[in-house]
Amino acid sequence: MNTRVALAIVALLVLVVHGFVFYQQFFNNWEKHQAAYFEQARSLAKTPAERSAVEGRKPRIEQNIVTQFGDSRVDRCLTCHLAADDPRFDKYAQPLQTHPYSAALGDFQRNGRWERRHKFSDFGCTVCHDGQGRGLETFYAHGEDPFWPDPMLGYVTQADWHSEYKPKLLGAEYMQANCAQCHTEENFPGTPLVSQGRQLFFEKGCYGCHRIEGLSSGTLGPDLSEAGHKFKINYLWEHTVDPRAFSPTSFMPRFDLTDDQIKAIVVFLKSRRGMNFAETSMEKYEAKLHETKPLSTGSAQQIPTASLGETLINQRSCTACHKLGDKDGHIAPDLSFEGLVRDDDWLLAHFKNPRSRVPDSIMPSFGFAESDFTALTTYLVTRKTPPTFKTGEETFKGICARCHGEKGDGKGITYLYLDPAPRDLTKVGFMNSKPMERFLTALKQGVPGTSMPPLEHVLTDQQRQQVLDYVFVTFVKEPRKELKGRKVPEQNPVAMSQESADRGEKMFLDRCTGCHGRKADGKGPNSLDISPRPRNLRNYAFIQNVGDHRLLDSILYGVQGTAMPPWIDYGLSQNDAGDLINFIRSLNHPSRPSAPADKSASLTQP
Amino acid sequence: MSNQTKAGPISFLTELPANIWHSIFRNPLPDSDLGRSATSFTNFFLHIQPVKVHRHSLKLTYTWGLGLISLFLFLILSVTGVLLMFYYVPSTTQAYDRMLDLRGTVAFGIFLRNMHRWAAHGMVAVVFLHMCRVFLTGAYKRPREFNWIIGVGLFLLTMFSSFTGYLLPWDQLAFWAITVGTSIASYAPFVGNDVKFLLLGDTSVGQEALLRFYVLHVAVLPILVTLLIAVHFWRVRKDGGLSRPPEEDEVFPAATPEPVAMAPAAASAVVAVPAPAVKLGEKAQLEKKLYGIQGIVRGPFTKIGNVPDRSVFSWPNLVSLELLVFLITVAGVLIVSLYFNAPLEQPVNIMHPPNPAKAPWYFLGLQEMVSYSAFWGGVGIPTFEVLLLLLVPFLDRKPGGVGKWFARERLLANSLFMTFVILNIVLMIIGIFFRGPNWEFVSPW
């Protein structure tokens, strides 16, 4: 008997639970919307034809199966948006609102009634709007589910998007990115944001680092040909605004952009889906055959004059990063008096490959024609007007603060993009442990292999002394103590030989790679956590310019104010240091591929 | 036949639906012992069970119905699994989208998936508990050794089924759990890397692994499990039914047994082939004769004859209890599926391993051990435990203590077993709750 009672109770429970389940799954929202539509349509019906069209209609799922846009899409949007093609509902609230007709969308009037150019039966909905076509609940259908890769453009933000940017990512204009999937012409009137974005892609120098098929061939940054397919608009926005938000070790600069410009760039990038629905494969192939890269032909026929160079500077968006005259990108060095800083050979070599002169530069190797580089060089060399600063403070703020920062802490506006980073002049330990001659020489002849320019012809001796005094008074503050002489030989005590370099290599691999890296390029695993970063020991120009005495001093006694420890405390002898120096010099032998062809940096520093 | 007017379409129509019904169900609902026996005996599904079953086997507090629950969970899994197969595609490019479709567009999709997932986890847990029950009641001893081995095999197959199914959603959770699991398998000496390659069809988890796991999960393993379940049931019958304490089988019990509750006619229900002790009329005797000799059965069970025994008819006692257990299982799975959603994380991104990457919960004890020693924790100790399990009926030959929970005579065996169980559970709990990034100890609060 007990079993029977228990059976009855549990059976009832199962029945009730089934009831819950069925209730959950039936009585959908879309049925309610459809019922509301039928009711309204019935009351709005004026002719018998209209009335009979609505009578007897039962709620059911409406789907469009669209196959001409890649994978077959099943769009069920019309299930809730049943009134999308019914012109009588243009004043109703969503979801029962008529989809707008407009000439801008290609719609036209015929016999007094609007007709769509992009009929739902041919196009579906998601090819323009994105979202999840198969969904039947708002949360899924509109793409609000954070795991859905294609939320409705401009209508939906997902929960895990940064709240600061969510309001900026709303707006029907984002849909222009999808128009461009078919309407790929350069200045298609329906997609002004895409055109603006494309323009900005060139104006802001993006083309130099990023490749987009048919537009540019930069190799420094990721290929953006399918950025719209891979990323959502929140990623594109946030990454443009703050590259290090998603990729902490990125050296992509933060460009000066207004919100409108960012929106245009986002729409442009979102339109890069890697496919053009309107093109067949044959047409695509034809286009590729006749493709002309916009920048590669350049002005090969023209004589590379300075005025051509000046034109090119504006055309090729150099001031998207650099400063020149009154235009400033706030990212790269000031070229306003570059003719006083560098000579033709240096500039031409730097143009062709920036890393041949500054090994850790982030400036891309632009694929211009050689004559373009010559023209640019010719122009830059004409910039020979020295700045007129009267005091050390003015000089510092006018020239040095761009990199070294107004506070002298090495955090000027460009510091994130320079490697080696600008020296932190507030580090008393460093500033007070180096001889003054070293600083004066650095100011006069620059620091080869780095972005510190030679100011020999830009400032007079007196001005250089003034700015140095200003630095010491304002940033270092502590008075210099008498520098103790250290027992460091002037020359390397160990003669250069293969055995010595091998011993040095072994020691290097044992002790130095944690910071300086296994490739001795300063990118060891600890390098991300220390400031200033470890020295790139393969920086040919730099190492050639540094004498044995200084290397010995740095290795044995460390570099105060940095993380370089005094290795003499860890048992390294002078001969050990000598072996290490021989190893480092062997890495920077002029026959090595990384060394530049000329040896213009020949002066050695004491 | 003589009262039929004419065999033909008219009589067919007039006799509907009884004629069709009786062609399927040859016996009416029983109201006599003969009828009850016939119902069990002549039905394909019911004849898997004996016609009469010992009363002790029906005690829910003895078995807790764990074996039954395992079976019913397996059935639920099969049904929901087949339904899911209509929507799922084992392709690295399509699988995740299909999971999203199941969630967002298929009617009952979320619910179906929930039922499948929670039934799966439930089955791993219940099969384990069933194994504990069998051990702690000594039901692996003679003559049930081989059935125990089949049971251990079923346990391992259950976990493997759950493991193969874990990969199919192809999200971060799935991918990295299987990466961890197969890497642990590769720690086996000599064969480890080959085993891993065999499982994955590649050196890392990808399309090949997905396809293999899918085939294993929907075809190979269910067939093996079904086969082993069939043998398992067969063995239960041939071993004399479920285990029970020896006093239940005493020929001359101290007190007369109470009449069986469910069958009103049972008071005189003892039937026999040879000379019955109860004197009945000849007609009644003939009516009561149920079966000829089916076979000579060795063993302690068959007591057809003149002894009052404590067996009761399967129909309706056993069948109604099984129905009850089935309904409770279904209710449990339904309720849990209503309230808890099966997890679905981000799509697979091989550049972004989660930290920590955790195996499915039933392997987390293993993973915790692996964090101390790859070989011993991942291969050595688990193999040792499985071997111990398999050999336990042959190591423990003492016949006493069967049929009772925590029998005194089996204190050593039970203590050892419980020690292993508790250790494994503790390790599992540590792995689940107390391990964070880099497998460092974290507080779950």
Inter-chain touch A14–B103, beta carbons under 8 Å? no
Spatial separation of the C-alpha atoms in residues B243 and B143, rounded to whole Å: 10
- Asked if the C-beta of A14 comes within 8 angstroms of chain B's C-beta atoms, the answer is yes
Give the pLDDT of residue B261. 42
Nearest to A204 by CA among A267, A262, A270: A262
Tens of pLDDT along B126-148? Answer: 999 999 999 999 999 988 999 99
Averages of pLDDT over each 10 residues, chain A, 606 residues: 86 92 81 91 87 86 87 89 90 91 89 90 92 88 88 93 93 93 88 95 93 89 92 94 86 92 96 83 80 58 82 90 92 93 93 92 90 92 90 92 93 90 91 90 93 93 93 88 79 91 94 93 88 90 91 92 91 93 90 51 39
Per-residue HEC secondary structure of A120-169 comes to: HHHHCCHHHHCCCCCCCCHHHHCCCCCCCCCCCCCCCCCCCCCCCCHHHH
Query: CA B31, B37, B42: angle at the middle one, nearest 5?
Result: 110
Structure tokens at A289: 């055959």
- Asked if the C-beta of B346 comes within 8 angstroms of chain A's C-beta atoms, the answer is yes
Inter-chain touch B104–A11, beta carbons under 8 Å? no
- Asked if the C-beta of A230 comes within 8 angstroms of chain B's C-beta atoms, the answer is no
Inter-chain touch A18–B335, beta carbons under 8 Å? no
| Percent of chain A clearing pLDDT 70 (strictly above) | 96
Is the Cβ–Cβ distance between B268 and B260 less than 8 Å?
Answer: no
Give the pLDDT of residue A605. 40
Whether this model's pTM surpasses 0.90: no
Nearest to B97 by CA among B30, B18, B170: B170
Specify the 3-state DSSP secondary structure of B258.
coil
Strands A216-217 and A323-324: unpaired
Spatial separation of the C-alpha atoms in residues A593 and B10, rounded to whole Å: 104
Shortest Cα distance from B116 to chain A (angstroms)?
A: 15
Strands annotated E in A267-383? 323-324, 327-328
Is the Cβ–Cβ distance between A33 and A80 less than 8 Å?
Answer: yes
- Asked if the C-beta of B326 comes within 8 angstroms of chain A's C-beta atoms, the answer is no
Best probe of the A interface among B114, B334, B351, by most A CBs < 10 A, is B334
All residues of chain B having their beta carbon less than 8 Å from the beta carbon of residue A3 are: 317, 320-321, 324
Spatial separation of the C-alpha atoms in residues A307 and A321, rounded to whole Å: 21
Selecting from A17, A132, A149 the residue whose C-beta is nearest the C-beta of B335 gives: A17
Nearest to B91 by CA among A71, A41, A412, A533: A71
Cα–Cα distances (Å) from B39 to A381, B30, B89, B162, B319, in that order, read 107, 7, 43, 37, 11
Amino acid letter for position B303: K
Please state, as a whole number, how many other Cβ atoms lie within 10 Å of the Cβ of residue A574: 17
Give the pLDDT of residue B291. 54
Is the Cβ–Cβ distance between A315 and A385 less than 8 Å?
Answer: no
Best probe of the A interface among B320, B324, B326, B349, by most A CBs < 10 A, is B324
Is the Cβ–Cβ distance between A381 and A341 less than 8 Å?
Answer: no
- The DSSP bridge partners found for residue A108 are A115
Inter-chain touch B261–A1, beta carbons under 8 Å? yes
Q: Which helix (DSSP H) or strand (DSSP E) does residue A114 occupy?
A: strand A113-115
Cα-Cα-Cα-Cα dihedral of B368, B374, B380, B383, to 10°? 60
Is the Cβ–Cβ distance between B344 and A147 less than 8 Å?
Answer: yes
Is the Cβ–Cβ distance between B209 and B203 less than 8 Å?
Answer: no
Tens of pLDDT along A16-68? Answer: 999 988 887 777 888 899 999 999 898 888 888 888 888 888 889 898 999 88
Is the Cβ–Cβ distance between B362 and B424 less than 8 Å?
Answer: no
B391: left (phi over 0), alpha (psi -120 to 50) or beta: alpha
Is the Cβ–Cβ distance between B438 and B376 less than 8 Å?
Answer: no
Shortest Cα distance from B367 to chain A (angstroms)?
A: 28
Q: Which helix (DSSP H) or strand (DSSP E) does residue A212 occupy?
A: strand A211-212
Strands A211-212 and A113-115: unpaired
- The DSSP bridge partners found for residue A327 are A324
State the complex-level ipTM: 0.73
Give the pLDDT of residue A601. 41
Give the pLDDT of residue B284. 54
Specify the 3-state DSSP secondary structure of A217.
strand
Is the Cβ–Cβ distance between A321 and A414 less than 8 Å?
Answer: no
Structure tokens at A464: 């250089």
Q: Which residues contact A95 (CB under 8 A, 6 or more apart)?
A: A33, A80, A81, A82, A83
Residues of chain B with pLDDT under 50: 1-2, 253-280
Spatial separation of the C-alpha atoms in residues A223 and B113, rounded to whole Å: 38
Inter-chain touch B107–A14, beta carbons under 8 Å? no
All residues of chain B having their beta carbon less than 8 Å from the beta carbon of residue A132 are: 100, 104-105
DSSP B225: H
B180: left (phi over 0), alpha (psi -120 to 50) or beta: alpha
Give the pLDDT of residue A300. 58
Q: Which residues contact A201 (CB under 8 A, 6 or more apart)?
A: A207, A212, A215, A216, A265, A268
Inter-chain touch B320–A24, beta carbons under 8 Å? no
Spatial separation of the C-alpha atoms in residues B385 and B113, rounded to whole Å: 33
DSSP B315: I
* C-alpha B227, offset from chain centre: 12
Spatial separation of the C-alpha atoms in residues A592 and A540, rounded to whole Å: 9
Query: CA B266, B270, B276: angle at the middle one, nearest 5?
Result: 145
